[in-house]
Structure 1
Amino acid sequence: MNRFLSNATKKVDAKGRVSVPAVFRTVLAERNITELYCFQDFVFPAISIGGPDLLDRFERQIDQEDPFSAEANSMSLLIHGGGVFAKLDAEGRLMVTDFIRDFTGIDTEVTFVGRADHFQLWEPQAFQEAQAQARKARLGGRAGA
């Protein structure tokens, strides 16, 4: 198992920490990811989290652009200006910081969502609505749906 799959909702504790699902921690361990790169998703009100390789991938894309172009500058604002590094504590918990709360609206619960090479943190109701909308859009293209 080397991909982030499925979703799970967890409670934020009184100190603002949330336990990362065990299956996600297993993937982090298998990939030897100890430092997490977190960024504000470009499409959804979610925080995307992966290893340094995720940041490296975005920086390679930026490097393909003219460093003075609007595209390179916009990408850097999103990738660097909208990103932070984080670590899990010894019990596998992540601190739900203002950076996360302000962008997502997360309060007392967090839905963890697998996205193959990374995972996301969502406010649970926002995730349910986005998933329902995505399912409806997918099914809308099928005959008989």
Structure 2
Amino acid sequence: MDRFLSNFVHNIDAKGRVSVPAAFRQVIVARGIRELFAMRSLTHPVMDVGGPDLLERFEQKMAEADPLSETYQDLSIFAYGDGTYLKSDAEGRIAMTDFIRSHTGIKDRVVFVGARDYFQLWEPDYFEAYRNEARARLLSARQGQASTARAPE
């Protein structure tokens, strides 16, 4: 197991902690990730969570940019100023901090969603709606491709 795969809904306890799914903890161990880094998604009210490679993606983009450019500044603010390390305890729980809750709308339950090299934290109702919309878009695109392939010339 070396990819974050599938999705899991977990309850947040009274102290604001939630258990990272066992399957995700196995990936974390297999990849040798010691610290989890979280950053706000640019496209949805979702948190992206991963190891050093998540942060390194942005650092690589920053290395390609002029350090005096606005793009560099934007990437720097996004990666460093709008990200945080997540603390986990011995039982594999992480805290659902105000930083996470204010961006995601998560209250008492969270969906952990695999995204190959990292995972995401979603508010359950938002995830379900997005998943249904994504499926509809993919089916529509597939049907459009099938119609084009069958059309006579």
Q: TM-score, normalised by structure 2?
A: 0.91
Counterpart amino acid of 1:47? M
Q: Indicate the structure (1 or 2) with the bigger Cα radius of gyration.
A: 2
CA RMSD, Structure 1 to Structure 2 (Å): 1.3
> Counterpart of 2:5?
5
The 1:63/1:140 distance shift into structure 2, 3 A limit, reads same
- The count of aligned residue pairs is 145
8 Å CA contact 1:34–1:87 kept in 2: the answer is no
Counterpart amino acid of 1:35? E
Q: C-alpha deviations, 1:85-135, integer Å up to 9, x for none? A: 113100000000000000000000000000000000000001111111111
Give the unaligned 5+ runs of structure 1: none
Counterpart amino acid of 1:63? A
Among all aligned residue pairs of Structure 1 and Structure 2, give the percentage whose two residues are the same amino acid: 49
1:58 deviates by: 1.2
Structure 1 residue runs of 4 or more that deviate by more than 4 Å after TM superposition: none
Moved more, 110-119 or 41-50: 41-50
Taking the TM superposition and a 5 Å limit, the aligned residue runs for 1:38-57 are 38-57=38-57
> Counterpart of 2:88?
88
CA distance in 2, matches of 1:133, 1:75: 29
Structure with bigger helix share is 2
CA distance in 1, matches of 2:11, 2:39: 21
Q: TM-score, normalised by structure 1?
A: 0.96
Question: Are 2:142 and 1:142 equivalent residues in the alignment?
Answer: yes
